[in-house]
Structure 1
């Protein structure tokens, strides 16, 4: 079976975020770095060239495909901030309507800028998403 393309690297998170062109996304990236570091108690790791991740879990699908992924994370893209692992927790359905302006994808949450969302609700989504991933999905 093919190995996942997105793997943890030794690249500098701060250098990656410092090189983000869009000034708002760069500032939001550093804010998310501090917020996720504090809420998860984990240090940030670059996953591939563009994802900042916190924590690590192992998954295995019914198809047999398995691998490792960051428990929560984000990527400051040109058009938005992609946030990973925040929609998986049992509290997400209750919290998302309170978040503010956002979109969701298969397992991602997209926001244009942090000023569009309630930071307290975002913090709770990070906390509950991380806890769910590390205790329910990843059973050490």
Structure 2
């Protein structure tokens, strides 16, 4: 609640989300190059500067320019809202399930390809050939829903 009010983000999702986890992982990777013992101080400075930039973004209304940096956050929420409102909740939940299964499939295949067991030329098979199958399935599923 405090971040939602002071961070100028009224629609903040509470809890650990994918973007926050990615952000923390990236911060840790940066800190691990230098000295892991300064991680709490770095997080503290990040927590100080983040609301300042959120306030400046809100004051100058530069949220409209976010589309030049990334479309991930806008398109993700837009897609979920349209799926649940236009086609009903069953289609929305089904699409969420497909998205989670798609991510899990690609993740497992990438891990298999980079595993030491498959560190032979067959590792390239796992990461290139087999990851194309779920990607083409996802594209075909998306096209069939639009028809």
Q: Name the TM-score class by shorter chain.
A: under 0.3
State which structure, 1 or 2, has the greater radius of gyration over its C-alpha atoms: 2
Higher helix share: 2
Q: Which has the higher contact order (CA 8 A, sep 6+)?
A: 1
Higher strand share: 1
TM-score, with length taken from structure 1: 0.26
TM-score, with length taken from structure 2: 0.25
